[in-house]
Amino acid sequence: MSSNWIEACAADAIEQEDVIRFDHGGRTFAIYRSAEDDYFATDGLCTHEQVHLADGLVMDDIIECPMHNGRFNYRTGEAKGAPVCVNLQTYPVKVEAGKVLVQLD
């Protein structure tokens, strides 16, 4: 396991129950803040087409893709049904000194 924690954004840069896009090293990720102020990270693009999930709506534990409403649980990455069938990769996240850190492999 690498211990390569990357600073993604300030904790308050994401609103509660919302998501922002984070680009790093030529890749794109989505960083989430739940209604309970827990933070999560997944790959940034939908597994159906190459669409940025950060433009989608967060409701409870679900991120909904803005293109065809494919739904994923952003805590686990699980695809919740058609048209998405491939799960999302998730990444460990921690908050330190008001910063959101993501562990990218």
Partner 1 sequence: MPGGMAIVGAGQCGARAALTLREHGYDGSVTLIGDELHLPYERPPLSKDVMVSEAEPVPRFVADRQVFADRSIQYLTGTRAIAIDPAARSIRLTDDRTLPYDKLLLATGAAPRRLPLPAADGSRCAYLRTYDDALRIRGAIGAGAHVAILGGGFIGLELAASVRKRGARVTVIETLPRILTRGVPEEIARIIDARHRSEGVDLACGKAVAALRDAAGGVEVVLTDGSVIIADLLLISIGAVPVAGLAEEAGLAIENGIAVDAHLRTSDPDIYAAGDCCSFPLAIYGGRRVRLECWRNAQDQGTLAARNMLGAGESASSVPWLWTDQYELRLQIAGLPDEGKRLVRRDLQDGAFILFHLADDGRLVAASGLGTGNAVAKDVRVAEMLIARRAKPDPAALARPETKLKSLLAA
Binding partner of residue 52 among partner 1, ligand FES, none, CB cut-off 5 to 8 Å per kind: partner 1
Structural element, H or E, at residue 42: strand 39-43
Q: Does 82 bind partner 1 (CB under 8 A)?
A: yes
Phi, psi of 72 (to 5 degrees): -130, 145
Among 12, 38, 55, 96, binds partner 1 (CB under 8 A): 55
Binding partner of residue 84 among partner 1, ligand FES, none, CB cut-off 5 to 8 Å per kind: ligand FES
Binding partner of residue 64 among ligand FES, partner 1, none, CB cut-off 5 to 8 Å per kind: partner 1
Among 12, 15, 37, 38, binds partner 1 (CB under 8 A): 15
Q: How many residues bind ligand FES (CB under 6 A)?
A: 10
| Alpha-carbon distance values, 67 to 41, 55, 84, 89 (Å) | 20, 9, 11, 19
**Distance, CA of 54 to CA of 60 (rounded, Å):** 15
CA-CA-CA-CA torsion sign (18, 80, 28, 56): negative
Among 9, 20, 48, 57, binds ligand FES (CB under 6 A): 48
Q: Does 84 bind ligand FES (CB under 6 A)?
A: yes
Distance separating the N- and C-terminal Cα atoms of the chain: 8
